[in-house]
Amino acid sequence: MPARRLAGRITVPGDKSVSHRALILGGLSVGETRITGLLEAEDVFATLAAVQAFGATVERDGTDWVVHGTGIGSVLQPEGALHMSNAGTAARLLMGVAASHAMTTCFTGDASLSRRPMKRVIEPLSLMGASFAAAPGDTLPLIVTGASPAVPIEYRLPVASAQVKSAVLLAALNTPGITTVIEPVATRDHTERMLRAFGADVTVEEDAGERMVRLRGQAQLKPLPLEIPGDASSAAFFIVAALLVEGSEITIENVGMNPARTGLVTVLRQMGGRIRELNRREVGGEPVADLHVCHSPLTGIEVDPAIAPSMIDEFPVLFIAAALATGRTTTSGLAELRVKESDRLSAMAAALALAGARLKETADGLVIDGTGGDLLAGTGQGQEVATCLDHRIAMSMAVAGLVSRHGVAIDDVRPIATSFPRFAELLEGLR
């Protein structure tokens, strides 16, 4: 239902990408890793269970989580299959760990994850010596037999993917010699930052516009206390909501501002969004800030495809902003969105059209003609948008509901629990 105005201060939960990495690296170091601000959501719990199956102990202590790792090379053979649920990051990163240890690991996932391409990780990890048996189309369920010793490779990423980069770097931890990943297009660098914090021998160099990440394997990781910054991808829904709902003024505390994650803020500012960064500081080796966001009339723009990797998970909610802007917003170069938790181009095109937005789906983007600030109609009697097991479609369409006359009915809100169980509660608190 339409919201009058959003006001107040909120703190978003811990970053999902950083939370997965904290558990995995904690499990691969010897000794105690204390994690503050871990995201407590289904995707991260899939990683947590897998890290335990690999032999680490992971326990909650007050609001912290404490990992006692096995160390690189001493990872245990899991007794059963690792259930990854909806979590692509968990599946791909943990395949990297499994690929360079002498063991056989089976990965399973829900219907959404079982449709997603795994060839992108199978390919480099096979070059390192691992072997794979996967379902047709190189999908889950999948069994990986690790190589021991694995062989170091130099690998140029064919797709801009932090998950693939991280899978190779995690495999490289138990591989003798130097493994190199070359990124023609930079992606989120949480793995490199955290590896360095754990004392790994990792270097990053720019060469002719490419990023070369080198890691020397088989060194011990040294555990340390970790603090997880707030998730910029979760903050995104509130940023757009406050920009769109008239009279709104909110502050979102402790938001991760890693430059490889802040493309949405850049694009929304280009559209006229008033977003101020306050109290800039570092948390756990990552830049963070409090974001002050005020309702702003937005203007459609042509979004530069080069910015896509730094806002790859934020396009669904950007499309909502575009649907309310004045004029046309054009996006392109977004073929990767078709292989996320859902095909996010077709899922968002269908959902927005049902809610009354005017748009066209192209091969690699959406072209959206905004209402100029007028409310969307919302879904009609008996109609529901299909969220396709995708948390970000559900939350984006909840934001659309705030700026619609009749509200937006959503078929299934359960996927929200994969990344943001308290989403509805926080939104209610701002209304």
Q: Residue for token digits 């969105």?
A: 337
86 binds ligand S3P (CB under 6 A): no
Burial (CB < 10 A; 0-12, 13-18, 19+), residue 138, is middle
342 binds ligand S3P (CB under 6 A): no
Q: Do residues 53 and 291 lie in contact, with contact meaning Cβ atoms separated by under 8 Å?
A: no
Nearer to ligand S3P by C-beta: 312 or 410? Answer: 312
Distance (Å) of CA 1 to CA 155, 320, 323: 49, 15, 17
Q: How far is CA 45 from the centre of its chain?
A: 15
Q: Which stretch binds ligand S3P (CB under 6 A): 99-107, 138-146, 162-170, 351-359?
A: 162-170
Closest CA relative to residue 12, chosen from 354, 250, 367, 266: 250
Query: Catalytic annotation on 15?
Result: no
Nearer to ligand S3P by C-beta: 179 or 251? Answer: 179
**Stretch 266-305: interaction string toward ligand S3P, x if CB under 6 A:** ----------------------------------------
Nearer to ligand S3P by C-beta: 161 or 331? Answer: 161
Q: Do residues 107 and 94 lie in contact, with contact meaning Cβ atoms separated by under 8 Å?
A: yes
Q: How far is the CB of 17 from ligand S3P (least distance, A)?
A: 3
Q: What are phi and psi of 140, to 5 degrees?
A: -75, 155
Marked catalytic residue, from 15, 110, 231, 313: 313
**Stretch 173-192: interaction string toward ligand S3P, x if CB under 6 A:** ---------------x----
Q: Which two tokens stand for residue 301?
A: 């723009």
Nearer to ligand S3P by C-beta: 189 or 227? Answer: 189
Distance (Å) of CA 338 to CA 112, 115, 117, 390, 422: 12, 11, 11, 12, 27
17 binds ligand S3P (CB under 6 A): yes
Exactly one of 29, 100, 112, 166 binds ligand S3P (CB under 6 A); that residue is: 166
- The pairs formed by 202-208 with CB atoms below 8 angstroms and a separation of 24 or more are 202/169
262 binds ligand S3P (CB under 6 A): no
Enumerate residues 303-322 that contact ligand S3P by CB under 6 A. Answer: 312-313
Name the residue type at position 367. Answer: V
* SS3 label, residue 204: strand
C-beta nearest to ligand S3P: residue: 17
- Number of residues interacting with ligand S3P: please give it, by CB under 6 A: 9
Nearer to ligand S3P by C-beta: 165 or 406? Answer: 165
Burial (CB < 10 A; 0-12, 13-18, 19+), residue 191, is buried
Q: Which two tokens stand for residue 329?
A: 């917003």
Catalytic center residues = 313
Which residues of the chain form contacts with ligand S3P (CB under 6 A)? Answer: 17, 89, 161-163, 166, 188, 312-313
